[in-house]
Amino acid sequence: MNDKLNFRKQKMMRTVLLSLTPIIIFSVYNYGLRVLTLLIVITITGTAAEYLWEKHYKNKASEAIFVTCILYTMTLPPSIPYWIALTGIIFGVIFGKMSFGGFGRNVFNPALVGRAFIYINFPNPMTIVWNEAASGFTGGFSTYLTAGIDAVSEATPMIAYNYTGEIMGLNSLIMGNIPGAIGESYKILIILAAIYLIYTKTASLEIMLGCLIGFFSVGTFMHYIYDGIAPIYGMMMGGFLFGTVFMATDPISAAKTKKGKWLFGIIIGLVTVLIRALSLFNGGMMFAILMGNTFAPIIDHFIREAEKRKKSKAVAV
C-alpha cells in the first residue's frame, strides 16, 4: 500500500520548494492565514487529481505537482473563492499536464493553464477583488484575511496606473506592502530566490536575463515613444518578476537549447510589455509565458537545424 503512495522523486523540485518557502511565509504575513488554508486545499486537490490519473495508468505521481500547486496558488488574489481556485488547479493538472502524458511531456506550464482558465471564466474575482496588505508586527498572522471578502476593493499598482495614471512608490513596490496576487508582492524575496535557483543550477539564467532584456528594451521604447511607464517600475508591478523566476524557467515547457533559452526569454519579456500597453489586460506575463511555451519547441527545432547545417558546412570544408 505504501509503495502506491510514493511519489516520483525529483531533487530539482525540492530545491524550488525551498526557494518558495520564504515567499509563502511573507504572503501569509501580508494577507492573512487564508493564504495558508488556500494553499493546503489547493495542494491536496491538485495532488489528488494527478495521483488518481496516474493510478489509473499504474504510474506514480511526481513531486513536481507540489510545485505546480504552490505556484498556482501564488498567482491568485488572496480572497479568491475556494471553489474557483479548486476548479483552476484541477483544470491545469488534467488539461495542462496529464492529457499530454504526464510529467516531462506537457507543452504548457500547468499552473498557468489553470490560472488562465479561471481568469477567462471568472474575471471579476480574478481582476477586480484585491486585498489591502497587512501592517504591524504580527501582520496577517493574527487574522484569517486582511479584509472581509465583501469589503475588498483595493486597486493593485498595475490597475491604479492603467486607470488613473498613478505610479506607486518604488519602495512600496519592492517591499511588497501592496494589494496584489498572493506571491508576487515582496520583490526582494523573489530576487533572492532567483539567485538561489541560479546558484543551484535549478533555473536558467539565460531565460531570466532574456525576459529582462526583452522587457527593458521594448519598455524603454514604449516609455519614450508612447509616454509609457518607465521599465524599472513596470518590472516591479504585477507578476513579471515572479513569472520570470518561477514560471518562465519551467524546464519542461521552456526552450531547451542555450540560444533558444535567450530567444524564449526575450519573447516573453517583449510580449509582456506589448500586452500591457496595447490590450485591455492589466497584466500580461501569464499570456506571454503561455505564448512562449507555444513557440519553445519551434525555436529549439530551428536552432538545432541551424547548428546541424553549420556543422555540415564545417565538415565539408
Within 75-151, where are the H helices? 82-96, 110-121, 123-127
207 within 8 A of 261, measured Cβ to Cβ: yes
Report d(CA 317, CA 28) in Å as an integer.
Answer: 63
Within 97-225, where are the H helices? 110-121, 123-127, 157-164, 170-175, 187-199, 205-225
- The pTM of this model reads 0.90
Question: pLDDT tens across 190-238, in order?
Answer: 999 999 999 999 999 999 999 999 999 998 988 888 767 788 888 888 8
**CA-to-CA separations, 56 to 4, 103, 127, in angstroms, rounded:** 12, 15, 37
Per-residue pLDDT of the chain (317 residues; tens, 9 = 90+): 344 567 677 788 899 999 999 999 999 998 989 999 999 999 999 999 999 998 888 888 888 899 999 999 999 999 999 999 999 999 999 999 999 988 888 999 999 999 999 999 998 888 887 777 777 778 788 888 876 544 455 566 666 666 666 677 778 778 777 778 899 888 999 999 999 999 999 999 999 999 999 999 998 988 888 767 788 888 888 889 999 999 999 999 999 999 999 999 999 999 999 998 887 777 789 999 999 999 999 999 999 998 888 888 777 66
**CA-to-CA separations, 132 to 154, 221, 229, 315, in angstroms, rounded:** 6, 33, 23, 63
Question: pLDDT tens across 244-278, in order?
Answer: 999 999 999 999 999 999 999 999 999 999 998 88
- The length of the chain in residues reads 317
Report d(CA 190, CA 197) in Å as an integer.
Answer: 10
| Model pLDDT, residue 61 | 82
Q: Which residues fall within 8 angstroms of residue 233, CB to CB, at 6 or more apart? A: 167, 170, 173
